[in-house]
């Protein structure tokens, strides 16, 4: 059990006591509360400690001795009520002050205490004993105080702590839980409280902060929705990409077969015409996937100069289907990727998400000059762009695609992709011839026209 | 202040409380041991230190009880002298008498000077009951107590102090203080008047200390009031038999009582016997008696003449006469010893029997004188100088 008394109450009791010319007594009003401390340590799960804390808030001095008891020490309940009135329920103990006596409960005090315990119904009624000891020559006076709980058999003395009695510059000033019952204080707070508190008694600042918090939460919810939507769009696109991939693979297989057949037929016809182009072409069918980086620009067998795009387009208008699949219609010059020496650049490239552009541009052939070597198409990166697609949910990066394509041979798959078997212009054909196995027949047939 | 004389205490106490303390200090005897009166120490005041004195209103009262001294604090309020006092019972923190058993507290009358003394007596009574209750912790001692209680001779004059259990050994000790019902009234006054102190009541107290609950270590002690002690012949009178092991008080105490009674009887008888002796000598020797102790009848001096030889006979009667033989000292009136004293001879053994009455003793003495004197005379002439 612990007990505390506020400094001002204690000094008030001392003041009353010291100014009396005889013994002095009174009642202690306050609160008793239970504190439970749960401590967790390594050795045990938890241990709860119950501590009873007695707080003395006020005191009620008696005007004279024997005011509520008689000579025999019998307590009169009427007198008690007339002294305490409605404060009776707040009584947690009583006190006595006597000079120059021992710190021990006297005979009458014990008798009174027993009766008070019963009458007031407080099982652990405390008794605060003050004794004032003076030396013989009155040079030193000591005020001693002891708090008893006489209803216990053992540990009858409790330490009474007075918060902030000491050097508060070194320690923190403790705020006690003694309620402030001053009427003046309550009045002032009531008057000025409206500036800080709203009608519910909650501090205004708290409410404002809460509003900010709510707003943030709402915004977050909205963003979540947007994220969800974009995720769905991305999913759809991803599906389409996968489908196209499958188509590409299918076509690749088909063109590969056809080229093989053609080559076999060609070889049978013309053994004597070695061509730079063909050699690598020959080699290339074997390495179906790998594309050696040719130093020389690819040329269509027919002409060393790359035909202009318009020529190509004019020649093989039919190559380009009017309704080209989105993938093949990219006729825009692709930005040159760094470090890409000369991948066969189909003028039109398939761009992952730029399909719309490609489509449109691919169809209008004249608007797009194509410089074969200078615009190496590093593949739309479908092979890679799919990767890049994967990597970039929201947007495509052309740059990324091209960079990927350095290593990614699959980009040439798109070269093979001729929109529905359309034959590409010569440029594309040459490109195809360079790297693609069976991509382009020497006669300029651009099978599996590069994707445009 | 310790060992404060009562007068000093009375001087320092607040005037309104003085009468109360007066009766306590001057006349206060409580309990069996009335030889030790109540003592007051540690006078303090409950007023502010600036109050001019005398204003002491609280003090410690030392009360002898069962061989112990109780030190109780008595607290008054000088500013309210009509109010009854409060008590702190020292180390007996568990002693809490019932106020209804203290009529002088319930009906406290500050105007009655005896009120405080009476209240203290009532408290002592309650304290006695409290101690008797504590005896219940030991069945053996409780038995002792109960058996004594039944005997009206001892039951009413008993003080019990049940000591605390020794916390180390768990032993329980108790002390019984019993007033022995011995009648000292017939002791000759002269014996009792010899003490310097005011004798007060003549008591013999037997204190029996039980150092353990099983009564294996029992230490009895007899206390006599100073006059009785003197009357019975000093500290040798205090020899009592040891407590028999396995015995009990109800057997032992009467034993001691009887012993003491016998001693007292002896003394009384001795007195009478001596008186008889002296009377007989007076009648036999008539004018030969020089002087005698008329109070205690312990001495007698005779001046006798035999064949013109005068001599003195000093008779010293011992305390336990007639058991013990009187001493006869013959003294020559003529002869001196070298040291300037009268030549004398002491005779301790001569024909004597305690069964003779006074007359017989006188006659025999006379006969002895006659037979001894020639010897003495020769001796005196031979050894003494004129």
pLDDT band with cut points at 50, 70 and 90 for residue B255? confident
Q: Tell me the nearest-neighbour CA distance from B191 into chain A, angstroms.
A: 46
User: Range(s) for CATH 3.10.110 in chain B?
Assistant: 1-135, 274-383
Interhelix angle A77-84/A107-120, nearest 10 degrees: 70
Q: Tell me the nearest-neighbour CA distance from A70 into chain B, angstroms.
A: 8
Q: Which of A21, A72, A141 sits opposite B47 (nearest CB)?
A: A21
Contact assessment for residue B328 and residue B337, using Cβ atoms and an 8 Å cutoff:
no
> What pLDDT does residue A372 have?
44
CA closest to A72 among chain B residues: B106
State yes or no: pLDDT of B374 exceeds 50. yes
Q: Tell me the nearest-neighbour CA distance from B75 into chain A, angstroms.
A: 8
**∠ at Cα B71 (B69, B75), nearest 5°?**
155
Instruction: Tell me the CA distances in angstroms from A49 to A1, A46, A125, B212, one per residue in order.
Output: 11, 10, 21, 43
B93 near A CB under 8 A = yes
Q: What span, in angstroms and rounded, lies between the C-alpha atoms of A427 and A304?
A: 11
* pLDDT cut 90: percent of chain B above it: 12
Q: Name residues whose C-beta falls within 8 Å of residue B98's C-beta, 6 or more positions apart in sequence.
A: B126
Interface-testing mutation among B1, B4, B75, with chain A (most A C-beta atoms within 10 A)? B75
Q: Which of B77, B99, B102 sits opposite A22 (nearest CB)?
A: B77
Q: Which of B80, B86, B106 sits opposite A107 (nearest CB)?
A: B86
pLDDT band with cut points at 50, 70 and 90 for residue B199? low
Interface-testing mutation among B13, B45, B77, with chain A (most A C-beta atoms within 10 A)? B77
Provide the CB-side half-sphere exposure for A379 (13 A, CA).
26
Query: What is the CATH number that goes with domain B1-135?
Result: 3.10.110
State yes or no: pLDDT of B104 exceeds 90. yes
> What pLDDT does residue A273 have?
56
Of chain A, the end-to-end C-alpha distance in Å amounts to: 90
> What pLDDT does residue B103 have?
93
Mapping DSSP onto H, E and C, the string for chain B reads CCCCCHHHHHHHECHHHHHHHHHHHHHCCCCCCCCCCCEEEEEEECCCCCCCCCCEEEEEEEEEECCEEEEEEEECCCCCCCCCCEEECCCCCCCCCCHHHCHHHHCCCCCCCCHHHHHHHHHHHHHHHHHHHHHHHCHHHHHHHHHHHHCHHHHCCEEEEECCCCCCCCCCCEEEEEECCCCCCCCCHHHHCCCCCCCCCCCEEEEEEECCCCCCCEEEEEEECHHHHHHCCHHHHHCCCCCCCCCCHHHHHHHHHHHHHHHHHHHHHHHHHHHHHHHHHHHHHHHHEEEECCCCCCEEEEEEEECCEEEEEEEECCCCCCCCCCEEEEEEEEEECCCCCEEEEEECCCCCCCCCCHHHHHHHHHHHHHHHHHHHHHHHHHHCEC
Block residue for tokens 């039944």? B150
Inter-chain CB proximity A102 and B79 less than 8 Å: no
Burial class (CB in 10 A: 0-12, 13-18, 19+), A27: buried
Going by C-alpha positions, the residue among A13, A127, A22, A77 that lies closest to residue B83 is A22
Beta bridge partners, A91, equal A29
pLDDT tens per residue, range A240-265: 999 999 999 999 999 999 999 999 99
> What pLDDT does residue B97 have?
92
pLDDT band with cut points at 50, 70 and 90 for residue B237? low
A25 near B CB under 8 A = no
Q: What span, in angstroms and rounded, lies between the C-alpha atoms of B293 and B100?
A: 58
> What pLDDT does residue A361 have?
40
Block residue for tokens 């768990």? B170
Inter-chain CB proximity A99 and B105 less than 8 Å: no
Inter-chain CB proximity A100 and B45 less than 8 Å: yes
A contacts of B49 (beta carbons < 8 Å): 134, 138, 141
Going by C-alpha positions, the residue among A388, A383, A409 that lies closest to residue A399 is A388
Inter-chain CB proximity B83 and A134 less than 8 Å: no
Inter-chain CB proximity A65 and B105 less than 8 Å: no
B2 near A CB under 8 A = no
pLDDT (tens, 9 = 90+) of chain A, 452 residues, equals: 888 888 888 999 999 888 888 999 999 999 888 888 888 888 877 778 888 888 888 899 998 899 999 999 999 999 999 998 888 889 999 999 999 998 999 999 999 999 999 999 988 899 999 998 888 788 898 999 999 998 888 778 888 888 877 766 776 677 666 667 778 888 888 888 888 887 787 888 888 899 999 999 999 999 999 999 999 999 999 999 999 999 999 999 999 999 999 999 988 887 655 544 444 444 444 444 444 444 444 444 444 455 555 554 554 444 444 444 444 444 444 545 444 444 444 444 444 444 444 343 434 444 444 444 444 444 444 444 444 444 444 444 444 444 444 444 444 444 444 444 444 444 444 444 444 444 444 444 444 444 44
Mean pLDDT, range B193-218, rounded to an integer: 72
Q: Across the A/B interface, how many CB contacts are shorter than 8 Å?
A: 72
Inter-chain CB proximity B99 and A99 less than 8 Å: no
Would you say the pTM of this structure is higher than 0.80? no
State yes or no: pLDDT of B338 exceeds 70. yes
pLDDT tens per residue, range A40-89: 888 877 778 888 888 888 899 998 899 999 999 999 999 999 998 888 88
Q: What span, in angstroms and rounded, lies between the C-alpha atoms of A446 and A432?
A: 7
ipTM score here?
A: 0.77
Class of the domain covering B274-383: alpha beta
pLDDT band with cut points at 50, 70 and 90 for residue B135? confident
B96 near A CB under 8 A = yes
B contacts of A140 (beta carbons < 8 Å): none
Inter-chain CB proximity B88 and A108 less than 8 Å: no
């Amino acid at each position: 059990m612990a007990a505390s008394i506020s400094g001002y109450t204690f000094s008030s009791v001392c003041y009353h006591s010291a100014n009396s010319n005889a013994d002095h007594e009174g009642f202690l009003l306050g609160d008793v509360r239970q504190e439970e401390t749960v401590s967790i340590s390594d050795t045990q799960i938890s241990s709860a400690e119950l501590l009873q804390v007695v707080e003395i808030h006020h005191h009620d001095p008696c005007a004279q001795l024997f005011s509520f008891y008689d000579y025999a020490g019998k307590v009169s309940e009427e007198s008690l009520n007339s002294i305490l009135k409605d404060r009776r329920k707040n009584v947690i103990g009583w006190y006595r002050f006597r000079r120059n006596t021992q710190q021990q409960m006297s005979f009458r005090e014990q008798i009174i205490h027993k009766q008070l315990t019963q009458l007031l119904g407080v099982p652990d009624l405390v008794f605060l004993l003050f004794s004032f000891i003076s030396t013989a020559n009155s040079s030193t006076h000591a005020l001693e105080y002891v708090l008893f709980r006489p209803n216990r058999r053992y540990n009858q003395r409790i330490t009474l702590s007075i918060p902030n009695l000491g050097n508060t510059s070194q320690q923190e000033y403790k705020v006690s839980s003694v309620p402030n019952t001053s009427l003046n204080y309550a009045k002032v707070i009531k008057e000025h409280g409206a500036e800080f508190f709203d009608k519910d008694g909650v501090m205004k600042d708290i409410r404002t902060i809460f509003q900010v918090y709510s707003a943030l939460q709402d915004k977050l919810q909205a963003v979540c929705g947007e994220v969800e939507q974009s995720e769905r769009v991305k999913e759809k696109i991803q599906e389409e990409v996968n489908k196209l991939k499958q188509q590409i693979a299918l076509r690749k297989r088909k063109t590969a077969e056809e080229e093989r057949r053609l080559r076999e037929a060609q070889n049978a016809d013309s053994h004597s015409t070695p061509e730079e182009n063909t050699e690598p072409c020959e080699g290339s069918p074997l390495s179906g996937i790998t594309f050696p980086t040719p130093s020389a620009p690819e040329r269509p067998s027919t002409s060393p100069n790359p035909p202009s795009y318009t020529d190509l387009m004019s020649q093989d208008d039919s190559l380009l289907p009017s309704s080209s699949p989105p993938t093949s219609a990219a006729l825009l010059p692709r930005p040159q990727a760094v470090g890409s020496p000369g991948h066969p650049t189909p003028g039109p490239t398939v761009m992952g998400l730029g399909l719309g552009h490609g489509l449109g541009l691919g169809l209008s052939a004249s608007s797009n000059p194509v410089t074969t070597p200078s615009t190496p198409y590093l593949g739309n990166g479908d092979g890679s762009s799919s990767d890049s697609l994967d990597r970039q949910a929201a947007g495509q990066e052309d740059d990324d695609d091209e960079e990927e394509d350095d290593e990614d041979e699959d980009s040439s798959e798109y070269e093979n992709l001729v929109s529905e078997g359309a034959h590409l212009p010569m440029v594309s054909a040459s490109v195809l011839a360079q790297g693609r196995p069976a991509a382009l027949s020497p006669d300029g047939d651009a099978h599996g026209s590069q994707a445009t | 202040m310790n060992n404060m004389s009562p007068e000093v205490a009375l001087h320092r106490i607040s005037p309104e409380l003085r009468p109360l303390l007066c009766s306590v200090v001057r006349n206060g005897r409580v309990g069996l041991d009335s030889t030790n009166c109540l003592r007051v120490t540690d006078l303090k005041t409950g007023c502010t230190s600036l109050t001019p004195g005398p204003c002491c209103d609280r003090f410690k009262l030392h009360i002898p009880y069962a061989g112990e001294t109780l030190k109780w604090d008595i607290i008054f309020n000088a500013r309210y002298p009509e109010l009854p006092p409060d008590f702190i019972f020292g180390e007996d923190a568990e002693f809490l008498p019932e106020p209804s058993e203290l009529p002088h507290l319930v009906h406290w009358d500050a105007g009655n000077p005896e009120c405080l003394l009476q209240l203290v007596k009532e408290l002592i009574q309650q304290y006695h009951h409290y101690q008797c209750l504590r005896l219940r912790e030991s069945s053996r001692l409780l038995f002792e107590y109960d058996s004594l209680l039944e005997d009206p001779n001892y039951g009413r004059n008993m003080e019990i102090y049940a000591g605390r259990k020794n916390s180390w050994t768990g032993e329980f000790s108790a002390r019984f203080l019993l007033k022995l019902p011995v009648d000292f009234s017939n002791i000759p006054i002269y014996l009792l008047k010899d003490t310097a102190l005011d004798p007060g009541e003549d008591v013999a107290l037997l204190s029996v200390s039980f150092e353990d609950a099983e009564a294996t270590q029992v230490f009895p002690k007899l206390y006599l009031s100073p006059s009785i002690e003197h009357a019975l012949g000093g500290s040798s009178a205090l020899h009592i038999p040891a407590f028999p092991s396995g015995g009990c008080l109800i057997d032992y105490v009467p034993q001691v009582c009887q012993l003491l009674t016998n001693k007292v009887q002896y003394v009384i008888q001795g007195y009478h016997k001596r008186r008889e002796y002296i009377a007989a000598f007076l009648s036999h020797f008539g004018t030969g008696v020089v002087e005698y102790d008329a109070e205690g009848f312990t001495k007698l001096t005779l001046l006798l003449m035999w064949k013109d030889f005068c001599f003195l006979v000093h008779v010293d009667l011992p305390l336990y006469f007639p058991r013990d033989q009187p001493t006869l000292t013959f003294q020559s009136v003529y002869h001196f010893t070298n040291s300037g004293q009268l030549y004398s001879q002491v005779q301790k053994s001569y024909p004597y029997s305690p069964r003779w009455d006074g007359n017989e003793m006188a006659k025999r003495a006379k006969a002895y004188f006659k037979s001894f004197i020639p010897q003495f005379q020769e001796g005196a002439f031979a050894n003494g100088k004129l």
